[in-house]
Amino acid sequence: MRSNEQEGAAELDELMRGYQQADPLATASLIEAVTPLLYRYFCYRPASRHHAADLVQEVWLRIHKSRHTYRHGDPVLPWVYAIARHAEVDVYRKRRRIEMVEYQMDAVPEVASANPEMRGIPSFEALMAELPESQREVVTMLKVSGMSIEEVARATANSVGSVKQKAHRAYEKLRRLLEARVDSRETQTR
């Protein structure tokens, strides 16, 4: 039994090597061998069961992007499952962020269609224009694109601490701008 496992691991290693070298037969064989394992992995995890097919596709995209990081001779499946685990966590976090922000409405309120500037509330674009470019970039990636702090740090070639600091300073400046608008509106109504 142990030799079958070793043979299987050696075969996957060879298929992965072929995949790295753009061998179409090795690629097809690797996908055929690993996809059912990934699908089963996600189907038996309660949080992932309903999205198993999407997660398998996401894992293959990540495998393709990072195939150069696989080292020949290392076991393929632990490498693949590490990618799967990270993909599952990232997709879960993204869905949670979306669910926390979005909610179903029966009808859009009429007030929402009015121009925010007319009501004394600055538009998002106007507020963002007040920020320095580096802070604007960080806030946009975090809040508009829904990226994690780590993803923003990688994308901007900054440290996580630097991204946190820029985001904090941006939030503080936005808070001050909004408070100033509210204060000026209150003094105008008196």
The answer to whether 122 and 181 have CB atoms below 8 angstroms apart is: yes
Q: Indicate if the pLDDT at residue 91 is higher than 70.
A: yes
pTM: 0.50
Give all domains of the chain, ordered by start, each with its CATH number: 2-101 (1.10.1740.10), 115-189 (1.10.10.10)
End-to-end CA distance of the chain: 85
Q: Indicate if the pLDDT at residue 1 is higher than 60.
A: no
Q: What mean pLDDT value characterizes the chain?
A: 83
Low-confidence winner among 34-43, 64-73, 141-150, 167-176 (lowest mean pLDDT) = 141-150
The answer to whether 136 and 104 have CB atoms below 8 angstroms apart is: no
Nearest to 93 by CA among 132, 148, 39: 148
So what's the pLDDT on residue 118?
52
Average pLDDT over residues 127-147: 84
